[in-house]
Amino acid sequence: MGISLKLSDYKTTYDTEWCPGCGDFGILSALAQSAFELNIEPHKLVFVSGIGCSSKTPHALKAYGVHTLHGRALPFALGIKLANPNLEVIAVGGDGDGYGIGAGHFSNAGRRNVDITYVVFNNEVYGLTKGQASPTLKLGMKTKSLPLPNINAGVNPIAWALACGYTFIARSYAYDTKHLKEVIKKGIQHKGLALIDVLQPCPTYNDIHDKGWFEEVIMQPNIKRVYKLEDTGYDYKVKDPTNQDEILRKQLQALAKSFEWDDKVPIGIFYQIEISTYEERINERCKTYFAAPPASQQIEDPLTKQAITDISKLMEPITL
């Protein structure tokens, strides 16, 4: 019989100490609502983070949580999923954490296509360490936390993910929790690696891309800078993953949309394709090399209850 869960079952009372008005609150709320609406039991759910303001998120969610090292959320998350594919694994963290320190992991995760979800809180600054420019802040931009305009160019996470092979690529906005929740749910339901880049205003250090900028009416009647791709009839999904022409067409379309920024900022799903996951590929090899993922392997004799694994070699002192 299924367990009847309430939304409050997904939240702890941990105080994240985020600043008033921080976009992180909206993302936290959307994450809890997504898990609740998909009826994922908390003991089957894992949140993995790196370091930063947003990396405190796993503490505030009632599920398994791992607060790892800077830039290392993705490799931890991939390892957890491979060890126990029955878990729903969601990596969370900031743009500095994921696109800066974790840049190599970000690229290579795309090549593998492990079935996890990665939610990036993108505020264009390193909030926890007082607002230095992060990898997504564009060249020449000057936030109130910088003494001079940014001397480096910014990366485009959507285009980057596309180049690396991510199979679900989306963007949402932290103050539109309804939209964000729906995108996260679709990312979780996607079979493969899902990136959800979330525009996350940081009112403390980023005064150029704030709520007023994102929601400014740029065209009457009431057309805001942030607009939804789904409202324009945009078709993001590759229907036939064997059709190279369709794949190229959808990738080029997503690429073009990813560079829209100053006057119009699209949110929604940019691209989705279903291909084999890393787990499926490794399962093919498991038939020859491994009996099952580590979490499913037998570790005791069912009759004698004696351990049938031998870790004595791991306990031996290392001699150089």
Touching ligand SF4, residues 6-25 (CB under 6 A) = 18-19, 22, 24
Tell me if 136 contacts Mg ion by CB under 5 A: no
Q: CB under 6 A: which stretch of 61-69, 85-93, 198-206, 305-313 binds ligand SF4?
A: 198-206
Q: Which residues pair with 125 in a beta bridge?
A: 133
Which residue in 42, 49, 44 sits closest to 27, CA to CA? 49
Q: Give whichever of 16 and 283 is closer to Mg ion, judged by the CB atom.
A: 16
204 contact, one of Mg ion, ligand SF4, none, CB 5-8 Å limit per kind = ligand SF4
Whole-Å CA distances, 191 to 116, 153, 214, 228: 8, 33, 31, 23
Helices (H), the chain: 24-37, 57-60, 73-83, 95, 103-112, 157-164, 177-189, 211-214, 244-258, 278-289, 312-315
Least separation in angstroms between residue 94's CB and Mg ion is: 4
Least separation in angstroms between residue 297's CB and ligand SF4 is: 41
Tell me if 27 contacts ligand SF4 by CB under 6 A: no
Say if residue 298 is exposed, middle or buried (CB neighbours under 10 Å; 0-12, 13-18, 19+). exposed
Neighbours of 209 (CB within 10 A): 24
Sign of the four-CA dihedral 2, 3, 6, 9: negative
Number of residues that bind ligand SF4 (CB under 6 A): 11
Task: Choose, by CB under 6 A, the member of 26, 50, 65, 127 that binds ligand SF4.
Answer: 127
Q: Which residues pair with 119 in a beta bridge?
A: 92, 196
Task: Choose, by CB under 5 A, the member of 50, 75, 93, 94 that binds Mg ion.
Answer: 94
Phi and psi, residue 259, nearest 5°: -95, 0
| DSSP tag of 123 | -
Q: Give whichever of 51 and 169 is closer to ligand SF4, judged by the CB atom.
A: 51
Q: Give whichever of 150 and 277 is closer to ligand SF4, judged by the CB atom.
A: 150
Q: CB under 5 A: which stretch of 69-77, 118-126, 262-270, 271-279 binds Mg ion?
A: 118-126
Residues at the site binding ligand SF4, with contacts judged by CB under 6 A = 18-19, 22, 24, 53, 123, 127, 202-205
Residues at the site binding Mg ion, with contacts judged by CB under 5 A = 94-96, 123, 134
